[in-house]
Amino acid sequence: MNTTFREKDDRMHIGHNIKRIREIQGIKQEAFGQMCRSRYSQQRISDFENMIALDEPLLEELALALGVTPDFVKSFKDENVIYNIQHSHVFNDNSTNSSQHSQPTFNNDGADKMMALLEKFIEEDRAKTQSIAELSRAVLDLTLEVKKLKEEK
């Protein structure tokens, strides 16, 4: 019996790469569609993610919405992401046109916005805590004042 093993088909599946990058960023198809300049429906994004190849203008639009370069999408491999996460926690774009070792470039706007929101939340929480402390002191003072008035009668 003669058994032949075929190597995995290494053709670039651009739609799959778009899908994996979107999933890694935690973005739903519907939200991703709205992030695109053309405002695609969830179904249309699903169609794109099932395509092996995308025309260059569409690829550029989808990559831009994900905060990565078209070259990064073309050379994306899950193994590179796993390597980056395990070794640096930083995503850089060191890609050349056909490099298999390209590193992802993610837009830091999301992290910056998240930090700004967190700082704003912390400041608002401090202000509320201060107000609660002042109200508690006022209630305690009033309670003591009422107690004194009752004792005087």
**Which has the higher per-residue pLDDT, 75 or 90?**
75
Lowest mean per-residue pLDDT among 88-97, 100-109, 122-131: 88-97
pLDDT of residue 59 exceeding 80, the answer is yes
**What mean pLDDT is predicted for residues 35-57?**
95
How much is the pLDDT for 122?
86
pLDDT for res 29:
95
- Give the pLDDT of residue 103: 52
The predicted model gives 132-139 an average pLDDT of 87
pLDDT at 98: 42
Indicate if the pLDDT at residue 46 is higher than 60.
yes
pLDDT at position 1 is 47
Range 79-100 average pLDDT: 53
For residue 123, CA distances in Å to 26, 111, 116, 126, 129 come to 27, 18, 11, 5, 10
Please tell me which residue, 125 or 5, carries the higher pLDDT value: 125
Domain boundaries in the chain?
14-107, 108-153
Domain range 14-107, its CATH number among 1.10.260, 1.20.120, 1.10.10, 1.10.533: 1.10.260
More confident residue, 30 or 112: 30
Contact by Cβ (8 Å): 63, 20: no
